[in-house]
Structure 1
């Protein structure tokens, strides 16, 4: 049974919602988490946790159990078929986590949920937010028609956020959308398992990343993907975009799907007692693996600010949250869009692009700057604490 009231209502039980709730619960805040689906998904698209995100997760005691279940990738490569155009080292990052951690989003969610349960909080499923009204002392939410009073509401409910729409917050950006296929497969491959590879192909980018247990995650921009891509489809994709001299051979498809994304940004991350985090506030292409990472960083920053306000701190801390995180989201959107444009240059521009990437890749300071950008550590100075 739902409580009649709570300090903070978090709508959305994905990584962003879980990390927000965990940050709050660890500081003694009464928090209620809702999600509209019956069970946590066992398949999900995010597959990399970057160094700065691991630092943020470490603040809420969730980094170590996640690292224990993932693969450490010490470098990221940009390739054109068999040529390595740029190799970005992560092992020189100024961090306790000098790598990209390759792990399924479902594992990330499970770790966060387990930590949250240790503080006596579980996601309430299935529960749907059906109404949201501002009051003098917070918000009156309707959950499947039943009232629930909260001092604050966090919308961590994704791109089609009910919270954002109920709060009347605009969500602006280009009207066009990008289509992607993603799949977890087993392959016979000569590619190094300890790195993430981005293949730049005429037809679009392809990301190749190892996961634990010999699984490889494939993500590719395509004009129209099948709902459940089969082995033949994914083999054709690798034949077209992946290694040519020693091509990969798909031996098994464990799971596959498709998704579409826009590049959108909320006009604000705060409307009074209603706050946004993660995909509810920003969505973009998966290029660079930034989406879930930024959402988790939003979550811990927001959970910290809310905890401080509820402990007697000034409400301006919530304005500082949106003032800090929204520009970070703008930066990530621009970065992801730039990577996508780089991958989809017309044939005439490809030789110049490839030559420029090889030139930049020869400069250690440039490689380090790119590593800082991909890892999220370039945002560290904007963060509190």
Structure 2
């Protein structure tokens, strides 16, 4: 049964909402987490946790159990069919986690849920936010018609955030959307199983990412994605965009789906007692695997600021959160869009792109900066310690 009041109500039990709640619970703040889904999804599109995100998760006791279940990738490559245009090494990153961790989002969610349960916090499922109003001391949320009072509410409920809409926060960006297909497959391949790759093809980018147990995650931008991509469709994508001399051969499709992405950002991440984190505040291309990572960084930053307020700090800390995270989201959106544009350059410009990427890869300082950028470590100074 739902409580009638709480310190913080978190709407959404994806990685962002769970990490926010865990940060708060570890600081002794009363937190209630609700999600409209009856059970957590078993399939999800995020497949990489970057070095800085692992540092952030380590602060809330979630890094070690996650690392134990993932594949460590010490290198990321950008390819045009058989040619490696750029190899980005992670093994020399200034981090306790000098790699990209390849692990399904569902595993990340399970680890965070278990850590929350250890602190006595359970996710309240099949629970829909239907109304939201301000009160003298916070908000009154209607959860399937039942009122719950909270000092603060966190919208971690994704692209179509009910929290954001009920709070009247704008969500701006171009009207165009990108269509993607994604799938977990088994494949006979000559590509390294400890390395993620971004294939740049004229028809669009293809992400090839190894996961535990010999599974490979494929993500590709396509004009119109089928609802359930089958083996023939995915094999055709690999034949068109993947390795050519030693082509991949799919042997099994474990699951497949599609999604569409708008490039949008909330006008603000704070409106009084209403706060946004993750996809409810920003959505963009999956190129570079930045989305979930930025959401988790939002979550721990927000949870830390909220806990500091409950410990007696000024509420201006929450304005600082918004002022810090929104520019970071703009930067990540620009970076992800740039990676997509690299893939779809005209044939006349592709040779210049390839030469530029190879030159960057040959210059150690440039290669290091790209590694810092992909890993999220370039944002380290913006986050609270």
What is the TM-score of this pair, normalised by structure 1? 1.00
Alignment of 1:290-329 (within 5 A): 290-329=290-329
Question: Where does structure 2 lack aligned partners over 5 or more consecutive residues?
Answer: none
Query: 2:286 corresponds to which residue?
Result: 286
Once residues 79 and 194 of structure 1 are traced to their aligned partners in structure 2, the CA distance between those partners, rounded to angstroms, is 16
Query: 1:12 corresponds to which residue?
Result: 12
Give yes or no for the alignment of 1:33 onto 2:17: no
Once residues 380 and 123 of structure 1 are traced to their aligned partners in structure 2, the CA distance between those partners, rounded to angstroms, is 30
Report runs of 4+ in structure 1 exceeding 6 Å deviation. none
- Shift of residue 311 of structure 1? 1.4
Query: 1:267 corresponds to which residue?
Result: 267
Once residues 360 and 290 of structure 1 are traced to their aligned partners in structure 2, the CA distance between those partners, rounded to angstroms, is 21
Query: 1:210 corresponds to which residue?
Result: 210
Once residues 252 and 167 of structure 1 are traced to their aligned partners in structure 2, the CA distance between those partners, rounded to angstroms, is 45
Query: 2:142 corresponds to which residue?
Result: 142
Once residues 185 and 196 of structure 2 are traced to their aligned partners in structure 1, the CA distance between those partners, rounded to angstroms, is 15
Alignment of 1:246-257 (within 5 A): 246-257=246-257
Give yes or no for the alignment of 1:336 onto 2:330: no
Once residues 204 and 341 of structure 2 are traced to their aligned partners in structure 1, the CA distance between those partners, rounded to angstroms, is 9
Question: Where does structure 1 lack aligned partners over 5 or more consecutive residues?
Answer: none
Query: 2:164 corresponds to which residue?
Result: 164
- Shift of residue 234 of structure 1? 0.3
Once residues 179 and 268 of structure 2 are traced to their aligned partners in structure 1, the CA distance between those partners, rounded to angstroms, is 26
Alignment of 1:209-228 (within 5 A): 209-228=209-228
CA displacement, residues 66-108 of structure 1 (integer Å, 9 cap, x when unaligned):
0000000000000000000000000010000000000000000
CA displacement, residues 272-309 of structure 1 (integer Å, 9 cap, x when unaligned):
00000000000000000000000000000000000110
Q: How many correspondences in the alignment? A: 385
Once residues 384 and 104 of structure 2 are traced to their aligned partners in structure 1, the CA distance between those partners, rounded to angstroms, is 28
- Shift of residue 139 of structure 1? 0.1
Once residues 381 and 14 of structure 1 are traced to their aligned partners in structure 2, the CA distance between those partners, rounded to angstroms, is 26
CA displacement, residues 301-328 of structure 1 (integer Å, 9 cap, x when unaligned):
0000001101111000000000101110
Q: Secondary structure at the match of 1:348?
A: coil
- Shift of residue 372 of structure 1? 0.1
- Shift of residue 341 of structure 1? 0.6
Once residues 348 and 186 of structure 2 are traced to their aligned partners in structure 1, the CA distance between those partners, rounded to angstroms, is 35
Give yes or no for the alignment of 1:353 onto 2:360: no
Query: 2:369 corresponds to which residue?
Result: 369
Query: 2:75 corresponds to which residue?
Result: 75
- Shift of residue 360 of structure 1? 1.1
Once residues 313 and 198 of structure 1 are traced to their aligned partners in structure 2, the CA distance between those partners, rounded to angstroms, is 44
- Shift of residue 60 of structure 1? 0.1
